[in-house]
Structure 1
């Protein structure tokens, strides 16, 4: 578990010696450097895999090359060839991503293909100890419910077609992953935490979309006997249910996170709390100068209340 400490303050208060603080700083700098390298490797690997998928002549070729790269990387990792460790990790991740892209292309993005990709990425993340692959496995699972993103000129889009199922499924996965993280060794704990965090993001996206449009329950009602356009006019779960539930979930998550010192969850609850507030505020009042001014004032009042709460918790 990672925590945040103010070393200068702890030294000033006499709770930590200067030598201990310097030792912790040295350890932190190593972790920060490792994080920077991993981020660069992650972006590079995704670019390589995407380019290779586009350039190779067929999906079957992409799958075959992906499997070969993955096996090469796995051999390096299993044999613990230290001088080639980074190369092995790159081969593992690139191979897994190429295999996933090939399967999706070969099966034309079907639900079955996304389930295969989810299982493959999950297994690869364990073999490679890769947080990137663990997160992508969760995202691939969300695609089985129709979740997707898009981009056109100067505009990004997010689609969640099954808000209710997304919330239920990924809330359960987040709880299961968190429970597992408390019982696993450090490397496996890190992967479980990534799965839990990615699932929490998807839960919030489900609430966000549901709070705007409600949920016609496409999957449960079936597409074959219904016209999607007509189904959107007969919402089963109204938007106010998601709005209320999201607010309660965010408050509950924030309070729990404070008590167990889960800083990431506190920040996420605060971020999505602000998104929820502004979304509902401007949906109801519109973006007028007065509504913008009043929204800013209310947000500062809430921030002040949270600051006072944190001070009381720190002095308790």
Structure 2
């Protein structure tokens, strides 16, 4: 079934309406060695919004602040109609220990920085960006709730954190009447499915909308990588800089390229691009609210938006699932097996809650 950017979805257990694909603004600015200059970034923004898109993702340190500053310029005339999501915790000033982390001092300073850079009075959605293993969860939650009460943040969320910590935080927020988490941002794609073990099931149970980043595996699933790129030795151009970055993140492997081969085969069968197939697979996961697309050119964004029209056959979905399948590990593999089922249900037929 075809979707459009204005086929809005509710974000977690909130009433906030967001598009089924979010526009990632980490490509706004080229301070990291790749990305879109101002005029090109403006074209990306305009194209997304003109199609009905309203969900835009950034962070306080993306492209050294250029991402937020450009969005502050682009959203000057339609700020209220957009859902701007940003993040805090990443180090803003090298050498300053309190300019990074999840603690209250950095939380408030980061939000004030984002408000200035975004040229706005409020942030729609604020993520804790990266778990720091040092800040008490009560400090994080109380700080987030204070910002919501001040009107500087409307909704709060979490990214790159252990599932047990996110679920613990949600329970504490519920018990203390603090602002609940409404979204979970994770890396999730056909080549990175670890989120299926704990994170995605936790999110569905605790009322968090899942917002995957890198749904195309850093570009590996688009088919532009070869076995020669496994060494990660190319340097020089913007494209090779991005490839080296992806190699360092562990995305370019024999396994990921094998999954990309299956994506390419199915794309050829459907008359689609590999990018559309990879993105559509993530988009149609019932646990996912809105994957983030990080295009660098209008042509790439146009191609990505075509994923909304992809409709798989059952056999094609099965082949994709098999290609990227992971071992769920203990206890998930055991609990999903016949032995555990027979011990808890015997011969009875019991329908699980949807």
TM-score for both structures, normalised by structure 1:
0.30
User: Which of the pair has more CA radius of gyration?
Assistant: 1
- The answer to which structure has the higher strand fraction is 2
Q: Which has the higher contact order (CA 8 A, sep 6+)?
A: 2
> TM (normalized to structure 2)?
0.27
Higher helix proportion, which one? Answer: 1
